[in-house]
């Protein structure tokens, strides 16, 4: 599939590679993007677009996307979201603190002077980046395909409700809330007994601190066990320790979900269990994020004509930072060109195709693959080198399966 946009930059229906070749030869179009291959028409043509349905499988680590028209998959992608934001901010905080001690040692203690972090509806930077990753992919797809409808799968559990109803009043018979938590705990614990890791048996929900000892129904106090293991715990054969970190992932999803509801624009909401059913029972596809996205697009339980090309994307940091001369300045290290090339440019060299990882004024660069593994740490870019894609904060790879 070759993606097509018209003279004014509006996306049209994709065409076959043969047709694109023909148009390019006749100078009726020009290539504007290598991955995914996109051409721009240089003449006014009639536009007859069909209905294109796009689906998105949201997540806090990976996003899956697909676009279909007439039960035919025309685009599928998987996006890795940045996970390094909070780590980098911790690092920055540490550098700043050290610098203050080094350079302004007699500075008065200050506190509560970060109004930004008390702002209403403020999102933590790591979460903001995750929400924006979804919106970025949306924009990216809409720039090459005439999407008429979005279907988005937000997480299946209402984690917001779970974390806000820590204590359930059993006297008033609030069982409904507990069912929600129960379903969520089994999902969180991967439908597995957390002691012996067995599956496909009747699972129990155990209170780590017993209810009789004041244990609550909050997710941190609940764990999935099989009947055998559960009996042993109650017989006092071993103890289960609390593991609170597990809910972090799901809570993040909850925030991403509510943010997307606000910012995504028009979309039809779907749920995880529906996607799973369609993927397994109707389409019979394996569990991947892009396959989930195809199942999301599949509205009327129709069979899909699959596509073997998948675009893998990864978001990377915009630049490296350093302290430059000057008071408290934290400027970006210039990402300027060396031999006409910049960091993260995709280049073709005698030692292979890769993204630029490090530049040297000697003309010997280091290149890496999509995953960040070094392909060659000293490749001469002054000879036989061609830039395929210019620097971008989204690394992209096209793969056939």
Smallest gap, in angstroms, from Cβ of residue 218 to Zn ion? 15
Smallest gap, in angstroms, from Cβ of residue 196 to Zn ion? 3
CB within 8 Å of 23: residues ≥ 6 apart: 15, 29, 39, 41
When the beta carbons of 220 and 280 are compared against Zn ion, the nearer one is 220
Radius of gyration of the chain (CA): 26
When the beta carbons of 130 and 195 are compared against Zn ion, the nearer one is 195
Strand 222-226 vs strand 203-207: parallel, antiparallel, or unpaired? antiparallel
Query: To which H or E segment does residue 222 belong?
Result: strand 222-226
Encoding tokens for residue 101?
């001690």
Smallest gap, in angstroms, from Cβ of residue 243 to Zn ion? 16
Q: Please choose, from the candidates 230, 62, 86, the residue with its C-alpha nearest in 3D space to the C-alpha of residue 137.
A: 62
Smallest gap, in angstroms, from Cβ of residue 189 to Zn ion? 11
Tell me the C-alpha distance between 269 and 80, whole Å: 22
Smallest gap, in angstroms, from Cβ of residue 233 to Zn ion? 6
Q: What's the distance, CA 144 to chain centroid?
A: 20
When the beta carbons of 194 and 247 are compared against Zn ion, the nearer one is 194
Smallest gap, in angstroms, from Cβ of residue 179 to Zn ion? 17
Find residue 225's DSSP bridge partners.
204
Q: Please choose, from the candidates 217, 237, 220, 130, the residue with its C-alpha nearest in 3D space to the C-alpha of residue 170.
A: 217
When the beta carbons of 131 and 226 are compared against Zn ion, the nearer one is 226
Question: CA torsion 187→191→194→199, rounded to 10°?
Answer: 180
Q: Please choose, from the candidates 347, 337, 355, the residue with its C-alpha nearest in 3D space to the C-alpha of residue 388.
A: 347
When the beta carbons of 25 and 202 are compared against Zn ion, the nearer one is 202
* Total length of the chain: 401
Quote the DSSP letter at residue 157.
Answer: S
Smallest gap, in angstroms, from Cβ of residue 158 to Zn ion? 24
Site residues for Zn ion per CB under 5 A: 193, 195-196, 206, 226, 229
When the beta carbons of 230 and 359 are compared against Zn ion, the nearer one is 230
When the beta carbons of 196 and 303 are compared against Zn ion, the nearer one is 196
């Amino acid at each position: 599939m070759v993606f097509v946009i018209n003279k004014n930059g509006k996306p049209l229906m994709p065409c076959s590679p043969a047709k694109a070749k023909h148009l390019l030869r006749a100078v009726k179009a020009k290539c504007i993007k290598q991955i995914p291959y996109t051409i721009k028409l240089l003449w006014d043509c009639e536009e007859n677009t069909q209905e294109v349905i796009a689906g998105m499988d949201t997540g806090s680590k990976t996003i899956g996307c697909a676009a279909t028209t007439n039960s035919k998959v025309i685009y599928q992608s998987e996006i890795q979201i940045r996970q390094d934001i909070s780590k980098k901010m911790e690092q920055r905080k540490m550098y700043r603190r050290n610098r203050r001690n080094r350079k302004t040692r007699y500075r008065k203690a200050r506190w509560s002077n970060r109004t930004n972090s008390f702002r209403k509806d403020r999102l933590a930077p790591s979460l903001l980046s995750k929400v924006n990753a979804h919106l970025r992919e949306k924009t990216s797809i809409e720039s090459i395909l005439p999407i008429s409808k979005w279907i988005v799968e937000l997480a299946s559990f209402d984690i917001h409700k779970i974390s806000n109803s820590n204590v359930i009043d059993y006297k008033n018979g609030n069982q409904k809330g507990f069912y929600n938590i129960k379903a969520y705990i089994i999902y969180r614990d991967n439908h597995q007994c957390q002691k012996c890791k067995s599956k496909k048996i009747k699972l129990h929900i155990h209170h780590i601190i017993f209810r009789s000892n004041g244990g609550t129904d909050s997710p941190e106090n609940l764990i999935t066990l099989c009947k055998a293991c559960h009996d042993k715990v109650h017989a006092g054969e071993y103890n289960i320790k609390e593991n609170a970190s597990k809910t972090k992932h799901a809570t993040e999803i909850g925030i991403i979900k509510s943010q997307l509801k606000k910012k995504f624009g028009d979309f039809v909401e779907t749920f995880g269990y529906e996607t799973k059913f369609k993927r397994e029972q109707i389409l019979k596809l394996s569990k991947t994020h892009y396959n989930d996205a195809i199942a999301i697009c599949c509205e009327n339980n129709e069979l899909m004509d699959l596509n073997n090309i998948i675009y893998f994307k990864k978001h990377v940091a915009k630049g490296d930072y350093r302290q430059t001369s000057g008071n408290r300045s934290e400027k970006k290290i210039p990402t300027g060109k060396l031999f006409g090339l910049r960091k993260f440019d995709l280049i073709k060299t005698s030692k292979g195709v890769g993204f630029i990882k490090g530049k040297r004024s000697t003309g010997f660069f280091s290149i890496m693959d999509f995953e960040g593994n070094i392909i060659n740490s000293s490749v001469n870019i002054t000879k036989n080198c061609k830039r395929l894609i210019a620097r971008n904060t989204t690394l992209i790879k096209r793969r056939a399966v």
